[in-house]
Structure 1
Amino acid sequence: MKESKPTRQAPPKARQPSRLGWLVSSVAAVLLLSRFFLNTREEYTLCSRNNSIYTVNETYPRAQCISICGGRITAVGNEADIRRSWIERFLYSAGTTVQYIEPEQIIVPGLADAHAHLLQQGYKMQLQLDGATSVQVVVERIKSYIMAHPDVHADTSRWIEGMGWDQTKWPGAKFPTAADLSSDPLLRGRPILLFRVDVHAAWVSERVLELMAPLPPDLDVEGGTIIRDASGEPTGILVDNAMSLIPQPPWAPEQYVDFFNTAVAEALKFGLTSVHDASTNPDAVTFFKGVAEAGKLPIRLYLMAVPFSENFTDWQPSQIERLTNYGAHGRLNLRSVKLFTDGALGSWGAALIQPYTDKPDTHGIMRSSPETMDQLIRSAWKANMQVNVHCIGDRANEIVLDVFEDILAEEARNGNADVAAFRPRIEHAQILQASDLDRIGRLGVLASVQPTHGTSDMWYAETRLGPDRIKGAYAYRTLLEASPNKVLPLGSDFPVEGVNPLLGFYAAVSRLGVDGRSPHGGGGWFPAERLTRAQALKGMTLDAAYASFAETELGSLAVGKRADFVILDRNIMEVDPSEILRTRVTATVIDGKAAYGTLGSRKTWQW
Structure 2
Amino acid sequence: MPRVDDNPADLTTYAICSHGSNIYTVDAINSRTSCVLVTDSFISDMGDLDSIQRRRKSTAPLHVRYIPDGAIVVPGISDSHAHIMHYGLYRQIPLEMGRNISEMVSFVENYIISNSDIYSNVSKVIEGWGWDHTAWPESRFPTAADLDASAVIRGRSVMLRSKDGHGTWVSGRVLQDTRPLLRTVEGGVIVRDKKGQPIGKNFRWFLLDVTLTAHLIGVFLDNAQDLLPVPVPTEEDYEQRFSTTVRNAFANGLTSIHDAKLDFPQLDFFKRKAAAGKLPIRLYGMTNYDEGEKYWGNITKPQMLSDDHRFSARSVKIVGDGSMRTGGAALYEPYTDNPNTNGFMRVSEATINRVIPLFLRDGWQVNVHAIGDRANGIVLGALESAFEDVDVVTMRPRLEHAQIMTKADIKRAGKIGVIASVQPTHVIDDMWYAEERIGPLRIKGLYAFRSLLNSGARITLGSDFPVETMNPLAGFYAAITRVSLDGRSPHGPGGWFPEQRLTRLEALRGMTIDPAYASFTESVLGSLEPGKRADFVVLSQNIMTVPVTEIMNTKFLATVIDGIAVHGKI
Q: Indicate whether 1:282 and 2:253 are aligned.
A: no
- The structure 2 residue matched to 1:512, chosen from 483, 501, 523, is 483
- Separation (CA, whole Å) in 2 of partners of 1:396 and 1:465: 15
- Separation (CA, whole Å) in 2 of partners of 1:483 and 1:121: 33
- Separation (CA, whole Å) in 1 of partners of 2:40 and 2:223: 48
CA contact (8 A) 1:241 1:310 kept: no
CA contact (8 A) 1:388 1:426 kept: yes
Alpha-carbon offset, residue 384 of structure 1: 1.0
Superimposed CA distance per residue, residues 530-579 of structure 1 (whole angstroms, 9 cap, x where no aligned partner): 11110000000001100011111111111111111000111111111121
Alpha-carbon offset, residue 172 of structure 1: 3.8
Alpha-carbon offset, residue 99 of structure 1: 1.1
- Separation (CA, whole Å) in 1 of partners of 2:409 and 2:29: 33
Equivalence for 1:102: 68
- Separation (CA, whole Å) in 2 of partners of 1:293 and 1:462: 48
Q: Indicate whether 1:578 and 2:555 are aligned.
A: no
TM-score (norm: length of structure 2): 0.93
Alpha-carbon offset, residue 323 of structure 1: 2.3
Equivalence for 2:387: 408
Alpha-carbon offset, residue 338 of structure 1: 0.4
Alpha-carbon offset, residue 501 of structure 1: 0.8
Q: Indicate whether 1:568 and 2:539 are aligned.
A: yes
Q: Which amino acid in structure 2 is aligned with residue 221 of structure 1? A: V
Q: Indicate whether 1:57 and 2:34 are aligned.
A: no
Name the SS for the 2:44 alignment partner. strand
- Separation (CA, whole Å) in 1 of partners of 2:30 and 2:341: 52
- Separation (CA, whole Å) in 1 of partners of 2:168 and 2:23: 45
- The structure 2 residue matched to 1:311, chosen from 289, 292, 295, is 292
Alpha-carbon offset, residue 163 of structure 1: 0.5
Mapping of residues 334-345 of structure 1, within 5 Å = 334-345=313-324
Q: Indicate whether 1:397 and 2:363 are aligned.
A: no
Alpha-carbon offset, residue 526 of structure 1: 1.0
Name the SS for the 1:589 alignment partner. strand
Name the SS for the 1:326 alignment partner. coil
Alpha-carbon offset, residue 41 of structure 1: 7.0
Name the SS for the 2:65 alignment partner. strand
Q: Indicate whether 1:365 and 2:344 are aligned.
A: yes
- The structure 1 residue matched to 2:278, chosen from 288, 292, 296, is 296
Equivalence for 2:328: 349
- Separation (CA, whole Å) in 2 of partners of 1:399 and 1:55: 38
Q: 1:369 to 1:310 in 2, by over 3 A?
A: closer
Q: Which amino acid in structure 2 is aligned with residue 302 of structure 1? A: Y
CA contact (8 A) 1:50 1:103 kept: no
Q: Indicate whether 1:386 and 2:365 are aligned.
A: yes
- Separation (CA, whole Å) in 1 of partners of 2:160 and 2:361: 38
Equivalence for 2:117: 151
Equivalence for 1:448: 421
Equivalence for 1:15: none
Q: Indicate whether 1:116 and 2:82 are aligned.
A: yes
Name the SS for the 2:232 alignment partner. coil
- The structure 1 residue matched to 2:456, chosen from 456, 471, 483, is 483
Equivalence for 2:250: 268
Gaps of 5+ in 2: 1-9, 195-212
Equivalence for 1:36: none
Q: Which amino acid in structure 1 is aligned with residue 293 of structure 2? A: F
Mapping of residues 320-335 of structure 1, within 5 Å = 320-326=300-306, 329-335=308-314
- Separation (CA, whole Å) in 2 of partners of 1:366 and 1:262: 33
Q: 1:60 to 1:359 in 2, by over 3 A?
A: closer
Q: Which amino acid in structure 1 is aligned with residue 86 of structure 2? A: Q
CA contact (8 A) 2:100 2:138 kept: no
Alpha-carbon offset, residue 322 of structure 1: 2.8
CA contact (8 A) 1:72 1:591 kept: yes
CA contact (8 A) 2:17 2:65 kept: yes
Equivalence for 1:13: none
Superimposed CA distance per residue, residues 376-431 of structure 1 (whole angstroms, 9 cap, x where no aligned partner): 212211211000000000000000000001111234xxxxxx42111011100000
- Separation (CA, whole Å) in 2 of partners of 1:192 and 1:379: 39
- The structure 2 residue matched to 1:71, chosen from 41, 44, 47, is 41
Alpha-carbon offset, residue 60 of structure 1: 5.4
Equivalence for 2:14: 44
TM-score (norm: length of structure 1): 0.87
- Separation (CA, whole Å) in 2 of partners of 1:295 and 1:384: 25
Gaps of 5+ in 1: 1-39, 412-417, 600-607
Alpha-carbon offset, residue 294 of structure 1: 2.4
Superimposed CA distance per residue, residues 125-184 of structure 1 (whole angstroms, 9 cap, x where no aligned partner): 111100311100101111111111111111222111100000010114211111111111
Superimposed CA distance per residue, residues 295-341 of structure 1 (whole angstroms, 9 cap, x where no aligned partner): 2211100111113x65213x3111223323337x4411011100011
